[in-house]
Structure 1
């Protein structure tokens, strides 16, 4: 993951974003470890239906902490690296701020209230606007649909109305894992695309030729 040292709000210290990313990812793999793919030397995630009820609930929470953390880092990266390519309204939205007029006619900003899916859509659309043609991922398809369904599972676990609210079915835990894999792919694609755009900028504006190898 690219280290985000120039976060727009200045709160992230050098190396902190990478440390948080690795910690949140480890929280997932502690509950849901890789296994070796039969007949292969590679590893992958198994079918999550073997997980006990408590582990399923823990995995849902860990995955959504990872998802929201990744998208926050990407919004900070967009603001810090490509903010000048975006409109003022877009920058405010990425900062999760909105304008309001007080009863005294004063203009002020306040925290924007919106859902997780809207913020993810905003992040992807803003990235495409700032670095056009590089991302190649849209908020659509099976992975994103699994994410949309999984948000409801997360919300139900965080605000249970009864004991049945705490049950995560086989279908739901598979959706949550597919949502995680989709966001993990999105995170990697954004980091790669942003790095490639920076390399292009260095080459065109300063004549510097750098090569960075990405590993899946």
Structure 2
């Protein structure tokens, strides 16, 4: 059997249920009522001491009225049992609601984090896809430019070859004409000489 101490933390203003003044809190609640209700449900509790604003502990009056109710007859005991039973159920519901809320809030935060991670993953994937597309475009552009340069080089070489062929053909034609003209001149010259010789004779 033990005395339960209900204190209020300064840092977060939450109510704690302790087995002794200096011990760590066994449970933490948002309101003083929740802390008292939880202390009432414990079988080992003999009395409840509540810390006031001045820092001093006082005995909980509500606890005294419930624990030290006079037992007159069997009827009264049954009536008290009937009255106390639903109270205990309500108390357990209230005390259990706090961890349920905490679990729900944890689940909500986990779900939110999952959603945020999904959004971030989607953004990263989109950015990666855009970057890959840009890289592909850049590669295609560089390839097309390189192909164009190679094409220009090939066409230039081809043009140079055709020009060389044309020059060679032209020189060949000129040479042929020169040969023909020289041969004609020689023939004419010989004919003139022959006619001159004949005339002398």
TM exceeding 0.5: no
* TM-score using structure 2 length: 0.28
More strand by proportion, 1 or 2? Answer: 2
More helix by proportion, 1 or 2? Answer: 2
* TM-score using structure 1 length: 0.27
Relative contact order higher in (CA < 8 Å, ≥ 6 apart):
1
Q: Which is greater in Rg? A: 2
